[in-house]
Amino acid sequence: MNIQLSDHFDYKKLLRFTLPSIITMIFTSIYGVVDGFFVSNFVGKNPFTAVNFIMPFLMILGAVGFMFGTGGSALIAVTMGEGKPEKAKQLFSMFVYASIIGGIVIAALGIALVRPTASLLGAEGELLDNCVLYGRVILLALPAYILQFEFQSFFITAQKPQLGLAVTIAAGVTNMVLDALFVAVFRWGLVGAAAATALSQAVGGILPLLYFARKNTSLLQLTRTKYDGNAMRKACTNGSSELMTNISMSFISMLYNAQLIRYAGEDGVAAYGVLMYVNLVFLAAFIGYSVGVGPVISYHYGAGNREEMKNLLKKSLLVIGIFSVSMLFLSLGLARPLAMIFVSYDESLLAMTLRGFRIYSFSFLFAGIGIFGSAFFTALNNGLISALISFLRTLVFQAATVLLLPLLWGIDGIWISIDAAEFLATLVTIMFLAAKRKVYHY
Exposure of 59 in the CB half-sphere (CA atoms within 13 A): 23
pLDDT value for 241: 67
Distance CA 48, CA 42 (A): 10
Sequence-distant (≥ 6) Cβ neighbours of residue 146 within 8 angstroms: 62, 64, 65, 68, 99, 102, 103, 106, 205
Q: Would you kindly state where each structural domain of the chain is located, as residue ranges?
A: 11-440
Give pairs for 8-11: CB < 8 Å, separation 24+. 8/308, 8/311, 9/296, 9/308, 9/311, 9/312, 9/315, 10/315, 11/315, 11/319
Instruction: Identify the CA nearest to 192 among candidates 177, 205, 207.
Output: 177
The pTM for the full model equals 0.75
pLDDT in tens, 174-186: 999 999 999 999 9
| Amino acid, single-letter form, for residue 233 | R
Rounded to whole angstroms, the maximal C-alpha distance in the chain is 61
Q: What is the DSSP letter of 68?
A: I
pLDDT at 156 over 90: no
Residue 266 pLDDT grade (very low, low, confident, very high; cuts 50, 70, 90): confident
pLDDT at 258 over 80: yes
pLDDT value for 246: 76
pLDDT at 242 over 80: no
| Residue 191 burial (C-beta neighbours within 10 Å; 0-12, 13-18, 19+) | middle
Which helix (H) or strand (E) covers residue 429, if one does? Answer: helix 411-435
pLDDT value for 167: 94
pLDDT value for 32: 65
Distance CA 312, CA 75 (A): 19
- Considering the chain, what percentage of its residues have pLDDT values greater than 90? 67
pLDDT value for 131: 94
Contact 65, 149 (CB under 8 A): yes
Q: Which residues of 193-213 are buried (b: 16+ CB within 10 A; e: fewer)?
A: bbbbbbbbbbbbbbbbeebbe
Bigger pLDDT: 95 vs 383:
95
pLDDT value for 217: 93
pLDDT value for 373: 96
pLDDT at 15 over 60: yes
Distance CA 41, CA 48 (A): 9
Counting DSSP H helices and E strands in the chain, the numbers are 19, 0
pLDDT at 318 over 90: yes
Range name among 200-209, 234-243, 278-287 with the lowest pLDDT average = 234-243
Distance CA 103, CA 201 (A): 13
Range name among 16-20, 59-63, 332-336 with the lowest pLDDT average = 59-63
Q: What is the DSSP letter of 50?
A: H
Contact 155, 295 (CB under 8 A): no
Over residues 225-243, the mean pLDDT reads 86
Distance CA 354, CA 326 (A): 19
pLDDT value for 1: 56
Contact 421, 252 (CB under 8 A): no
CA 287 to chain centre: 7
